[in-house]
Amino acid sequence: MGAGAVGEKARRSAVKLTSRGAIALALVATLAGYIAADLLDIPQLVGAAFVISSLLGALLVNRRELLSLVVTPPLVFFGATLFVEIGRAFGSVSILQSLALGLYSSLSSGAPWLFAGSAVVLAVALRRGLRDNVRDLRQELRAGAEVPRPRQPFVPEPEGYFEPKVYGTPRGED
């Protein structure tokens, strides 16, 4: 058994995620980053957890699912932030005002991390074959558009179709 065969076997047995698994990884890691940032008072942990988990997800996802993974980092970050801010808002006097202010400040401070995570996922996905996924999707859409639908002749509804029907027998006089 040569070195090439061992490398090929290692590549085949590597861990692979579905796009849902990669999205769940990023969501759980971002939520864990929020918890660690609150406990350790290091706000950068949220962004670092998001970027690292996004990178891991992009590296471990199946190649055929890259397209669905590329569009999700902003949604994952927003979802985790919304969940955390809803939890924080429950302890305040004005829940809606606290939620709006918390979302604004968290999303504003997390914007560079969000951009970095999205860029990392896009760069890794392009390297791993995102262009092939886009090309395949375009071909599928073109193939679906080229199939003419069979024309159905107009068939009017039968007479009395919209008239109300009376079920049962009429009640007798009591």
Q: How many domains does the structure of the chain reveal? A: 1
Within a domain: residue 106? yes
The two three-digit tokens of residue 77, written as one number = 């970050």
Domain that holds residue 97: 13-146
Within a domain: residue 171? no
Alpha carbon distance 26, 83 (integer Å): 14
Within a domain: residue 72? yes
For 93-108, what is each residue's pLDDT tens digit? 888 999 999 999 999 9
Count of CB atoms within 10 A of residue 105's CB? 11
pLDDT at 121 over 80: yes
The pLDDT value recorded for residue 119 is: 93
- Tell me the average pLDDT across 59-65: 87
Within a domain: residue 60? yes
On whether the CB atoms of residues 57 and 26 are closer than 8 A, the answer is yes
Within a domain: residue 167? no
pLDDT at 125 over 70: yes
Within a domain: residue 52? yes
The pLDDT value recorded for residue 66 is: 86
Helix and strand totals (H; E) in the chain: 7, 0
Alpha carbon distance 136, 5 (integer Å): 30
Alpha carbon distance 37, 100 (integer Å): 20
Within a domain: residue 27? yes
Q: Would the pTM count as exceeding 0.85? A: no
For 5-37, what is each residue's pLDDT tens digit? 555 555 554 778 888 989 999 999 999 999 999
Region of poorest pLDDT, from 64-73, 121-130, 161-170: 161-170
pLDDT at 146 over 80: no
Within a domain: residue 8? no
